[in-house]
Amino acid sequence: MSGTPATIGRGRLAGMAEQGWRVVLITSVAPIAVAMTETLRGLGHDPVAVLAPRRNPPRPSDTAMTDESAPPGMDVVLLRNKFSIEPVLRALEPDLVLCWGFPWLIPQAALDVPRLGSVNLHPAMLPRHRGPIPLSWAIRAGDAHYGVTWHRMDDGFDTGAILAQSTVPMEPDDADIWVVGPRMAGVALGLLPRVLERLAAGDVGDPQVATGDEPYAGWFEDDYATINWAKPAVEIDRQVRAWAINAGNVHAGPTADLDGKRVLVRRTSLTDPGGDAIRVDAGDGPIWVVAWEPLKEAEEPAES
């Protein structure tokens, strides 16, 4: 057989891509698993299983992986801890692992199992906003857009080489993940063919070039959980939207005094929406509280 080892290897990978790869998905979000499964099958690949974290105690959720919500025709494995991942992957013998919406740092030994590597989708323009809640931090920072990045996984959080990325416009009415999520998913899945092409070619990806000044998207701190009405209205509105799209924070927020009551503010508006909205004078003008609930009745946030 002619050709260098590198070109021979790329040829084998390309042939494997034409025949279809065995792909294992790692995610805790059922709609993501369904969308990735449909996309991969449409591209001629064979998603064989979904690995999801076992929650103890169980946490009811509209996005939880259950028998009813799992993609059809897929095995579903509920993992007791991150050390279960490697032996499960070895048994499944995947060509590729795709991870998206998973809370644990996966051990390097597990990442090394698939022959084409392990790839993650992070909802930010890496290296900006590494961390667990990048969408919230993009809003908090006043960014003009969100981002999506497919990157190879390594032994750090969100630090691997980039395979594809793009921006997603940020809209002023992005009130929760159900509004933003479909838009993010559409862009992310649209990049997947390019990701698979680079993997088939043996492309290692583009190293992340971080300056050290990028904000880390960590869980919100306690002092960001309280609204200060003296701040500019646009800043308060960003605070409310950042909390609304956040999930799993150890603090409940944002809280505020409203008509003599301590409440959780769920939604605000920079223009008068009418109805039952309450006008509040912020530091530079009015802001309207559209949705709120008494703090004592608010659901306590789940620990991550």
Mean pLDDT, each 10-residue run in order, the chain (304 residues):
36 51 96 96 96 74 77 92 97 98 95 98 97 95 96 94 97 87 96 97 95 90 94 97 83 89 94 95 96 72 42
pLDDT tens-digit readout, 103-141:
999 999 999 999 999 999 999 999 999 999 999 999 999
In this structure, which topology does domain 5-200 adopt according to CATH? Answer: Rossmann fold (3.40.50)
Q: What is the pLDDT of residue 5?
A: 32
Q: What is the pLDDT of residue 250?
A: 72
80-84, long-range: CB < 8 A, 24+ apart: 80/54, 82/106, 82/107, 82/110, 83/107
Q: What is the pLDDT of residue 214?
A: 87
Q: What is the pLDDT of residue 102?
A: 93
What Cα–Cα distance (Å) separates residue 240 from each residue in 10, 177, 181, 193, 246? 49, 13, 17, 36, 10
Q: What is the pLDDT of residue 228?
A: 96
Domain boundary assignment for the chain: 5-200, 222-297
Mean pLDDT of the chain: 88
Query: One-letter amino acid identity for 163?
Result: L
Q: What is the pLDDT of residue 300?
A: 47
Query: One-letter amino acid identity for 32?
Result: I
Q: What is the pLDDT of residue 70?
A: 84
Q: Which two tokens stand for residue 245?
A: 């799209």
Q: What is the pLDDT of residue 28?
A: 92
- For residue 290, give every residue at least 6 positions away whose Cβ sits within 8 Å of its Cβ, in sequence order, or none: 266, 267, 268, 269, 273, 275, 277
Q: What is the pLDDT of residue 18?
A: 52
Q: What is the pLDDT of residue 172?
A: 86
Buried b (16+ CB within 10 A) or exposed e, 271-295: eeeeeebeebebeeeebbbbbbeee
In this structure, which topology does domain 222-297 adopt according to CATH? Answer: Methionyl-tRNA Fmet Formyltransferase; Chain A, domain 2 (3.10.25)
